[in-house]
Amino acid sequence: MEFNKHLENIKSYEAGKPIELVVREFGLDPKDIIKLASNENPFGCSKTVQDAVSKIVKNMALYPDDSMLKLKNALAKRFRVDVKNIIIGSGSDQVIEFIVHAKLDENSSVLMNSITFAMYEIYAKQVGAKIVRTSSQEHDLDEFYEMYKTHKPSVIFICTPNNPTGDAVDAKSLLEFLSKIDENTLVVIDGAYMEYAIGKDKSKEITPKQIVDSFNNVIYLGTFSKAYGLGGMRVGYGVACESIINPLYKLRPPFNITTLSLEAASVALEDEEFVEDSIENNFNEMKRYEEFALTNSIEIIQSYTNFVTLCLNDTQNSSQLADSLLKKGMIVRDLSGYGLNAIRVTIGTPFQNDKFFELTPQFL
């Protein structure tokens, strides 16, 4: 049977291995498995979210509120924008999908960093768009600008902080870059880890309000999957001026966010303390990863996220290391698929990180 020809060139997204799979493959007890592979919050989510969701768990027969006003109002208040500037997706992944389908086709191109979030490419390939990448590992905005002038892409993805490397661009330079881009090129600022970046260094902070107030060709993306600890609920958002948000709505399937997810995300925004504590643990524990790297002569990329990228030397092999750790019940992300001899490790609880520091040296 024949399918859409664009699908032939797509390699399916490889998610971090779920705990259930490791249980089956290695016969380990689920409670002995530590997953540091998908940048989830190791503390779970706020207790107030759990309570709120438990209270409405009986309301599953009715379709969700498709206006999503409770969540949109909460986001609008937090970011000081209008509800009309917000679109909600089943994860910010879905908003990326809307953007790609709204702006790209076989005759257009998309510009992204040499190493960045894999889903940009996968969605772009679905519509047959040409993919153009910069050459430097970190986002180099001068190079982005040169390539923008040459290729005239319809969409530019800027992932800051970047996944899977953890580095972030300077906000002032980014705003300068944005001001030079033609209004028919849509720039996507993917801020999936922005809460962490702000917790470490304010000069990396880009706010949705800045974007809405100053640009009619830029969209800011955020998610509840990382700092808010709601990866399982699938809620993300895009913030932009109405002339961008309205066309994206034409691609949104009805009821794309469940009743429980809408409630979870709305309540999660109220518990700032939970997020602050998570961020504090993150950067305290990150120092321990930096010391670990130094002691074991591994290079660590300066990170503004809830993960660290450890670059191995030529005598070491990231796939082997990830496999060896997996057999011991520790799931990390091998980055060989990105052309890096490196692993990405989500910063866990102190206990989980101890385990990583204990296990890893024997495999180096």
**Contact residues: ligand PLP, CB under 6 A:** 91-93, 117, 159, 163, 190, 192, 223, 225-226, 231, 236
User: In terms of CB distance, is 178 or 265 closer to ligand PLP?
Assistant: 265
C-beta separation of 186 from 180 below 8 A: no
Distance CA 11, CA 121 (A): 10
User: In terms of CB distance, is 236 or 348 closer to ligand PLP?
Assistant: 236
Nearest residue (beta carbon) to ligand PLP: 91
Q: How far is CA 247 from the centre of its chain?
A: 23
User: In terms of CB distance, is 171 or 192 closer to ligand PLP?
Assistant: 192
The least CB distance from residue 295 to ligand PLP, in Å, is 28
The least CB distance from residue 96 to ligand PLP, in Å, is 7
**Dihedral sign, CA of 146, 147, 148, 150?**
positive
The least CB distance from residue 181 to ligand PLP, in Å, is 20
Q: At what angle do helices 318-327 and 19-26 cross, to 10 degrees?
A: 80
Whether omega for the bond prior to residue 42 falls within 30 degrees of 0, making it cis, is no
User: In terms of CB distance, is 103 or 226 closer to ligand PLP?
Assistant: 226
User: In terms of CB distance, is 121 or 360 closer to ligand PLP?
Assistant: 121
The least CB distance from residue 38 to ligand PLP, in Å, is 8
Please provide the DSSP assignment of 156-174 as one string.
EEEESS-TTT-----HHHH
The least CB distance from residue 91 to ligand PLP, in Å, is 2
Backbone torsions φ then ψ of 36, nearest 5 degrees = -120, 50
Triad 264, 235, 56: Cα angle to 5°:
25
- Cβ neighbours of 341 (radius 10 Å): 17
The least CB distance from residue 362 to ligand PLP, in Å, is 30
Contacts of residue 354, Cβ cutoff 8 Å, sequence gap at least 6: none
User: In terms of CB distance, is 217 or 306 closer to ligand PLP?
Assistant: 306
C-beta separation of 352 from 34 below 8 A: yes
Distance CA 312, CA 309 (A): 10
User: In terms of CB distance, is 174 or 192 closer to ligand PLP?
Assistant: 192
User: In terms of CB distance, is 308 or 329 closer to ligand PLP?
Assistant: 308
Q: What's at 56, amino acid-wise?
A: I
The least CB distance from residue 62 to ligand PLP, in Å, is 25
The two three-digit tokens of residue 46, written as one number: 């706020």
Distance CA 329, CA 22 (A): 7
The least CB distance from residue 231 to ligand PLP, in Å, is 6
The two three-digit tokens of residue 38, written as one number: 């998908």
